[in-house]
């Protein structure tokens, strides 16, 4: 494939969780070995798209970076079956991402910014220029847009870029690097902003949220 002129390759890593006997460490080591062999075989950039389901996701991402991944794509959006209760059978739900699914990659982009050598690519639920701006503020180097194109056509990219330019002009930013990572863990005062695991933590530490919810 490298000889055809492609500028890079994406390795899509995912191990279907159907085997109770497979050790998670062995799965990760197998993926790292695959990455190593591909890097040895070609001289083009290699990105790795992974799922969010690793025992220690941050460590796993760092290992992929340390083993030569040029970019980490957050995250592989996995098929989730549904059940049709009228037919009493498994069914395939809507395959497009929902508009708020960018929040998980946003969280990890914020945690990973300046922590790994590989670039950070966010995907899932990115429909508007505003979504792209949020991910860049968190620390993403780039984003992938798929569902938005299926639903709105290729012209959606132009709309997103125009919205980004409007926001940048309004906030006096001349280039993306002026604000990339501005709201990452590395650049904000609250050390727990990206680490909170439960909603109660946010409610107990945010008078503004409580006031807003009370007014609604």
Residue 35 confidence (pLDDT) above 90: yes
Between 213 and 123, the higher pLDDT residue: 123
| Domain assignment present for 45 | yes
pLDDT band, very low/low/confident/very high, at 211 (cuts 50, 70, 90): low
Q: What percent of the chain has pLDDT over 90?
A: 70
Contact present, 160 and 198 (Cβ < 8 Å): no
| Domain assignment present for 7 | yes
| Contacts with 205 (C-beta within 8 Å, 6 or more apart), sequence order | 192
pLDDT attached to residue 154: 95
**For 121-141, what is each residue's pLDDT tens digit?**
999 999 999 999 999 999 999
- Number of domains observed in the structure of the chain: 1
**Helical spans, DSSP H, in the chain:** 24-41, 57-66, 103-112, 129-138, 147-152, 155-170, 199-204, 207-215
From the list 116, 94, 87, the residue with the least C-alpha distance to 185 is: 116
Domain encompassing residue 145: 2-189
| Domain assignment present for 200 | no
| Domain assignment present for 75 | yes
The crossing angle, in degrees rounded to 10, of helices 129-138 and 155-170 is 60
For the entire predicted model, the pTM comes to 0.87
**For 53-72, what is each residue's pLDDT tens digit?**
998 999 999 999 999 999 99
pLDDT band, very low/low/confident/very high, at 197 (cuts 50, 70, 90): low
| Domain assignment present for 194 | no
Cβ neighbourhood burial of 72 (10 Å; 0-12, 13-18, 19+): buried
Residue 182 confidence (pLDDT) above 50: yes
pLDDT attached to residue 200: 61
pLDDT attached to residue 216: 46
- Here the tokens at position 111 are 């945690």
pLDDT attached to residue 206: 57
| Contacts with 194 (C-beta within 8 Å, 6 or more apart), sequence order | 107, 110, 111, 185
Cβ neighbourhood burial of 93 (10 Å; 0-12, 13-18, 19+): exposed
CATH number of the domain enclosing 84: 3.20.20.70
Question: Could you give the CA distance from residue 210 to residue 198 in angstroms, rounded to a whole number?
Answer: 15
């Amino acid at each position: 494939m490298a000889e055809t002129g492609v500028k890079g390759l994406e390795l899509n890593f995912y191990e279907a969780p159907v085997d109770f006997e497979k050790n998670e460490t062995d799965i990760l080591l197998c993926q790292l070995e695959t990455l190593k062999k591909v890097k040895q075989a070609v001289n083009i950039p290699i990105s790795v798209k992974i799922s969010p389901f690793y025992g220690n996701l941050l460590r796993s991402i760092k290992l992929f970076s340390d083993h030569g991944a040029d970019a980490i794509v957050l995250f592989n959006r996995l098929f989730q079956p549904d059940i049709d209760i009228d037919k009493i059978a498994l069914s395939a739900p809507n395959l497009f991402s929902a508009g708020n699914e960018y929040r998980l990659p946003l969280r990890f982009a914020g945690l990973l910014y300046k922590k790994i050598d590989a670039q950070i690519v966010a995907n899932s639920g990115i429909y508007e220029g505003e979504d792209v701006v949020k991910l860049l503020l968190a620390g993403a180097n780039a984003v992938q847009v798929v569902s938005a194109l299926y639903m709105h056509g290729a012209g959606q990219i132009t709309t997103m870029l125009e919205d980004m330019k409007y926001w940048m002009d309004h906030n006096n930013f001349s280039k993306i690097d002026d604000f990339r990572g501005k709201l990452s863990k590395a650049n904000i005062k609250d050390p727990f902003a990206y680490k909170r695991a439960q909603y109660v933590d946010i409610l107990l530490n945010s008078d503004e949220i409580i006031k807003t919810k009370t007014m609604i």
